A and B are shown apart, each in its own frame.
Chain A
């Protein structure tokens, strides 16, 4: 075995760095690894939060796969993710391209587009959304003005989903700033050269901008997908998961099983399954984009 040499400043031992990162390692053991393992173990028990957990093998997982509620929640979550993520990436890219033009007062616009995302999941915003879409609320009045007539946002399952997607879409700012900073890093010469060669702006976007931004697009894709698959706040507060459980995401299902029905074993089994699904989706995205883990430090 080759003996590793450590490149440190003179007089600094190889354990100095380890000492400095030790808070993270302790935190990782306590707040990530322990709950992670413990969730897996609890998933294989019957546990009502009062009596001691009883080992029950894979029966929770069996129940889960046979449960209509679980399959519906999984379907709702995946559909939500498939609708929201592409829309959000497209909108944030489009706005980032607009903001990248060299015009005056861009800082003001950037702030305006970014503000909704920093307010993000703030309960006040969620309450506001609830009011906007309530019967004869702003959205209803606007559809009335446009001659679309009265829409019941809460009782139609497609409209209820749209309401939540719109809220999260409104908060596209965080993805947009990431795109914007990547756009700024593209040397202007590339575009100038392409212009000389007679490329239009659409062609330049697909031939220059997009290929150079593929890492950032991927980063945003992963971040937004993980966030979407975990959605809890918005359906919990706005629709309560209804109508007919059409907006009950897996996140909400887990919460309900744990804190409404006190079925901790089952809830942990479901949350582990969600973890597996998220990991699978992320790995799939890595595979589809032909990428391996290449972080270096």
Chain B
């Protein structure tokens, strides 16, 4: 009986959490009048044709174009982040070296460094290098283990791999790098998945960096394209179209999360990652 009460409470809370998203999906299929007259999310006369217009967007390019742009950022960023974070974490987890304590303190420091302080000088730096309006400012920092939390998470997991494994590999003739690839990496696959998933989600969500660095609509990632559409649609008409664009824009994140969920949830907490 008591259990039933808890379930009821949890279900009610879950409903409150999910309702805005359900409402978003429902409202995208409603007429503009109905959006503002009925609080219930199910549309009376669902009109799926709005999604054709939404895919075409109100800009000169389709949503497909913006998705492609976003993936052009995500792909190199993920590869860069994986390679650099794994190497750096390996260095911290398995080797002793001069100034190790200082280096680790710096790593922790970058995790707590507010992005707002560094973003403007970075803008000026990329501008001087003539690299504004390219994807280099968005992707290149990942090559240098820019995400301290990834390294931190990897270190925690690498320390969990028994050192005896390394020693056995050494006896079999593996050097440091081969030990990393053939012995340690297979043991920490879930973390590698987490890094890829978080890079994906964070890049999908990132707004400030592209807003500052990317200026031509042709190169806009999805987030900027959504903002452009929301702004240029304005009040009064075609609001279901903007809502439909938002629904489409959320699908990749939800899909990636759904697919990876089982594998990576264990990794989330280890590094104190926030979503």
A residues contacting B by CB (< 8 A) are 4, 6-10, 12, 14-21, 23-28, 30-32, 34-36, 38-39, 42, 49, 95, 98-99, 101, 103, 109-125, 127-132, 136-138, 141-142, 145, 170-171, 173-175, 177-178, 180-182, 219, 222-224, 226-227, 229-230, 232-233, 237, 250-251, 254-255, 258-259, 264, 267-268, 271-272, 274-275, 278, 282, 293, 295, 297
Contact = CB atoms under 8 A, between A and B. Distances in A.
B259 interface: no
Contacts of B110: 28, 32
A127 B146 contact: no
B216 interface: no
Contact of B120 (A14, A137, A271): A271
B144 A23 contact: yes
B115 A230 contact: yes
Contact of B253 (A113, A122, A174, A237): A122
B116 A232 contact: yes
B108 interface: yes
A128 B226 contact: no
Interface of B: 3, 6-7, 9-10, 13-14, 17-18, 20-21, 23-24, 27, 35-39, 84, 87-88, 90-92, 94-101, 103-110, 112-125, 141, 143-146, 151, 155, 166-167, 170, 176, 201, 204-208, 212, 222-224, 226-227, 230, 239, 242-243, 245-247, 249-250, 253-254, 257, 261, 265, 268-269, 272-275
B36 A14 contact: no
Contacts of B106: 24-25, 28
A182 B114 CA distance: 26
Contacts, number: 279
A142 B39 contact: yes
B39 A272 contact: no
B144 A27 contact: yes
A294 to B, nearest CB: 11
Given A98-B6, A181-B269, A127 B226 contact: yes
A38 B246 CA distance: 38
Given A36-B118, A264-B124, A114 B269 contact: no
Contact of A233 (B97, B208, B246, B253): B208
A249 B15 CA distance: 31
Contact of B97 (A17, A130, A137, A237): A17
B250 A31 contact: no
B144 A31 contact: yes
Nearest to A25: B103
A129 B21 CA distance: 10
B24 A128 contact: yes
A264 B38 CA distance: 47
A134 B148 CA distance: 39
Contacts of A99: 10
A99 to B, nearest CB: 8
A119 B120 contact: no
Nearest to B273: A174
Contacts of A12: 95, 176
A229 B117 CA distance: 12
A12 B205 CA distance: 42
Nearest to B155: A297
Contacts of A173: 275
